[in-house]
Structure 1
Amino acid sequence: MIRTGLIGCGYISHKHVKTLSRFSDISLAAVCDVDQEKMKEAAALYQKEDGADSEITFYENYQDLLKDPRIDIVIITVISSLHAKITKEAIKHGKHVIVEKPLALSMREANDVIQLADDCKKDIFVCHQLRYRPLLKRIKELMEKGFLGEPYMGVVSLRLHRSLDYYASSNWKGTWEKDGGMLVNQGIHLIDLLLWLFGDIQSVYGEIASRVSEKETEDVACGIISFKNKAKGLIEANTITKPKNQGYYLSIFAEKGSICIGGPGFNEVQHCYIEHLPDMEDELRKLSVQLDEHYLMYQSFLETIIKKAPNALSAKEGKKALEAIFALYESSKRKQSVSVPVDHFCTADMKSGRI
């Protein structure tokens, strides 16, 4: 039995707890949070979903959990600014790690995590679970096998509403130092998909703006990506859509066809045309109702741990979208295109002055 320890028992942790309960060869052995009630909620949820009165240890200090010799894997779902710090400590204690996005809030931290994981021969799995959604896996396969021909342009759109109450609910939300920015939090999944589908990037040009004065970070972002394969990428994102979330969108334009998906649940096939594949739209629509990506992500990670399968969402993979966002932020400061790789960047550097 593989035993996991959960650090951070807030809202997002509940998805992990429910997913863990569906596996027979992995269990939740310990939880950690500064809030006792949140630990009780997470433990009770697991026991309810698991259907057994499992013994779960409570730790108020995450370092005590890391010292627990029973724990094989640590799941990190704390605030963004602590992801890299706790990941590194977990690796040093001999644990594998599942960490929520973003991997880090600086290039130095991201690179340190990658190097440490390599040195200690431990696996890090960054939660970009949308890659495992069957609809998106099929689109990836179509592109890899050349059915769409040469990729020309990819567009991702994020149109969300974040109220003042959202930022007021926690003192870290909307801060460059602890939260990391709108793209780092709300936009990173779409940007990860864009890079996953289109490949490595060469440069990024971007502009950002902040129209909500009650926070530090951006709520509008526009970016142009130049890929190494000569394709172009377009990012448009905001969290000021009124009166509520409109949704998430991904569009692919290529030599032999185009595909557009989106909607509030990011699962509507709004357009599909591929030369010589007239039934593909129907196939994609059928796949669009399959939304069990969290389970499929965990299944992949277990295969990495147990069967030594390749790690599809390693720290190196998790760094890619982060680096693209950092390049966009840096471009907005310098008012010019920024080449990738990015050598030095930290979201806290964006704190000096209004955008």
Structure 2
Amino acid sequence: MELSNLQVDLRMSLVSQFSRPIQVGIVGTGYAAKRRAETFIEDERSQVYGVTGYTPENVADFCQTYDVSAYENWQDLVTNENLDLVVICNANQLHGKVTKLALENNKNVIIEYPLSLDYKEASELLELAKKKEKLLHIEHIEILGGMHRAVQKYLPRIGKVFYGRYQTIDRKDPAPVKWTFNKQLFGFPFKAALPRIHRFTHLFGEVKSVNCHHQYWDIEKENYYHACLCDAQLLFKNGLIVDLIYGKGDIFSASDRTFELYGETGKIIFEGIEGKLITSEGTEPIELESRRGLFALDTRMVLDHLFDSKPLYIKPESSIYALKVGETAHQSAISGKSVYL
């Protein structure tokens, strides 16, 4: 396949731009930020320049562990002229703002899903990245994970898929008072927990309509809750019907993670990490690869892309389309009606 002049010029500029170790700034200090920092430090192609986060104590611990400099706020970090790459792993509400400032200051960006809690803003950020000729990589490690890879492998064995169900219930007792239990900081569940939708759009394409309901169990502290439940039914353009159930908090008596696909010649089911293929020939166990090391793999793939122009496993358009479906689910939940895309 021939490359356009723009693609050739961009690849050449990336190679020349990163002929030295790239300088990385990290926004956030949680699990994803730590795994990425470890990978950047271990790889001779990159150096962690600085980090910023919401809680000073966590930032101090992060800096001590990884021997990096602390920044008081994300604005000062992402506008630093020494940075080549900004990694965004903070509260969902700020994702769009941080990404925009980073791109405006000519930084390449890695961001944990979702790119934004607003579909329109996410689309505008992608256009900005293209205009600036900068990388905008939206992490979706569920695509790299064992379950998704196994589903792709066994999908031909079950024929045309006509129904799917994905239930993720996370019992938390006591429920934490943190940003993941905050309506504003975390966002609407099917926009915040985007892989619930993205797994299916990645496999089966475009959605025709969405019907969604949600419920929160609030606490006295503004915008915080101790439990939530959200369910949605997606009708795909190919006729597939998918039921999604997302819940977390102390209202649930047990956790549950079940993924099911029904095809005309068989069924794929995962209960936790136990997978099975069921056909007329019998039941066959599905072995899952370990989830360990996926953030490191994602990080190395980005470095391979920046230095050697190797393709990434996902395009930002894929994530942004899933966000569009998530926003449609939110509209349905508010209106109490099915909404067509």
TM range (shorter): 0.7 to 0.9
- Report the Cα offset of residue 72 of structure 1: 1.6
Which has the higher mean CA deviation after the structures are superposed, 4-13 or 104-113? 4-13
Shift of 1:178: 2.7
Matched, 1:161 2:166: no
Change (3 A) 1:135 1:181: closer
Shift in alpha-carbon separation, 1:251–1:22, aligned structure 2, 3 A:
farther
Q: Give, in angstroms, the shift of residue 156 of structure 1.
A: 0.8
Paired residue for 1:273? 278
Q: 2:160 matched to which residue of 1?
A: 150
SS at match of 1:183: helix
Structure 2 length-normalised TM: 0.83
Q: In 1, Cα distance between the equivalents of 2:164 and 2:42? A: 35
1:2 touches 1:26 (CA, 8 Å); kept in 2? yes
Once the 2 structures are TM-superposed, how far is the Cα of residue 224 of structure 1 from its aligned partner? 0.8
Note the residue ranges of structure 2 that are not aligned, 5 or more in a row.
1-20
- Residue 300 of structure 2 corresponds to 299
Instruction: State the distance in 2 between where 1:177 and 1:230 align.
Output: 34
**Is structure 2 residue 183 aligned with structure 1 residue 179?**
no
Aligned partner of 1:33 in structure 2 is 53
Deviation, structure 1 residue 44: 3.0
Matching of residues 278-293 of structure 1 within 5 Å: 281-282=284-285, 284-285=286-287, 287-289=288-290, 291-293=292-294
- CA distance in structure 2 between the aligned counterparts of 1:211 and 1:134, rounded to whole angstroms: 33
Please state whether the residue corresponding to 2:190 is helix, strand or coil. Answer: helix
For the structure 1 residues 190 and 173, does the alpha-carbon distance in structure 2 shift closer, same or farther, using more than 3 Å as the test? closer
Aligned match for 1:89, one of 89, 101, 115: 101
Which whole-Å deviations, capped at 9, do the CAs of 1:123-171 have from their partners, x for residues lacking one? 212222111113422322443xx3432221121101112446513xx4x
Aligned position for 2:238: 229
Residue deviations 1:22-73 (CA, integer Å, cap 9, x gap): 43322312112354432232233335xxxxxxxx332213232223333221
Alpha carbons 1:224, 1:232 under 8 Å: kept: yes
Q: Look up the match of 1:136.
A: 148
Matched with 2:11 is none
AA in 2 matched with 1:319: I
Residue 131 to residue 254, structure 1, CA distance change in 2 (3 Å) = same
Aligned mate of 2:201, from 190, 195, 202: 195
**Cα separation, 1, equivalents of 2:251 and 2:181:** 18
Q: How does 1:1-355 map to 2 (within 5 A)?
A: 1-33=21-53, 35-47=55-67, 56-143=68-155, 146-163=156-173, 165-167=175-177, 170=178, 172-185=179-192, 187-214=193-220, 215=223, 219-240=228-249, 246-263=255-272, 267-269=273-275, 271-273=276-278, 281-282=284-285, 284-285=286-287, 287-289=288-290, 291-340=292-341
Q: 1:185-233 CA deviation, whole Å, 9 max, x = no partner?
A: 3x42222212222222111111112234544678111211011111111
Report the secondary structure of 1:94's partner residue. coil
- Cα distance change of structure 1 residues 179 and 272 upon mapping to structure 2, 3 Å threshold: same
Gaps of 5+ in 1: 48-55, 341-355
Distance 2:147 2:332 in 1: 33
TM (norm. structure 1) is 0.80
